[in-house]
Structure 1
Amino acid sequence: MIKSLLLIAILVTPSGIVFGQGAPVPPWADSALTKTGFWRGYDYTSRLNPEVAYGDLDGDGLWDVAFGIVDKGGRRHGVVIVNQIDRSVHILGAGQPLGNGRNEFVNWGLAELLGYRAGVRVWDWHLSGWFVWNGRTYAWVPDSE
């Protein structure tokens, strides 16, 4: 009995970051995106297999969600983050200035920061760094050379 309970506890205990191709959009995130008018100017990088990642990006203990996106006007790539606590929507790249002279990136993922929250890790041949929550917004922090 104890072995069964331990196995169940291990299987249902969430890890810090979860990635999912084609994972369903949580209703709270879809509602926030719709309410802000996000879908008028942006779309997923793929409707069949959207890039989705979950992690605590703002350090509040709740899982936030990040999606790979493109802007409909120029097909520039980026990420949108929806913070679960306040349903705020944050667009990184996809035509929006990044703070490093660029306005898009393709390669990204979530990675642990300081062991208690996650950040958006960006790596491309011309730039690499992090988007981290600074208490108000997601700020670009370049890798040190």
Structure 2
Amino acid sequence: MGIGAHNLSIAIIILGVVVNAFGTGFISGLLSVMLADTVDYGEWKNGVRAQGLLTSASSFGAKFGMGIGGALTALILATGGYQANQTQTTESLRAIEFNFVWIPIIGFAIAAIALFFYRADKQEKQYLVELEERNRAFRENEK
């Protein structure tokens, strides 16, 4: 492999990382909005505004996922025979590729499938109007 091919590979990796970061940034913002929508939907459906519980469950899920992700990454590298500061074998390079390319693709595919079943936005106008009416009636009764 010549120097030009090496530079091209690095450029492709950098481009992939930038595209990934751009998409992940949108997803992070989307998750915050979806969490707020879920709080409103839960209040409308069950009469309980559980924003603390839902926020802490989301935080726990993220932390748990990061822990599992770190352990899974280490397990895959160990299974591939990765040795730090050594010339890597074909198997260890495949393990690195799997961690860097395929795990994110699989994760995003699972998230896309889960989003397909997200239905709160279809009833959003209805439940926001009803929640506002409930809250207005509650405030008037408090006076």
Q: TM-score, normalised by structure 2?
A: 0.26
Greater per-residue strand proportion: 1
Q: Which structure is richer in relative contact order (CA contacts within 8 A, separation 6 or more)?
A: 2
Q: TM-score, normalised by structure 1?
A: 0.26
Structure with larger Rg: 2
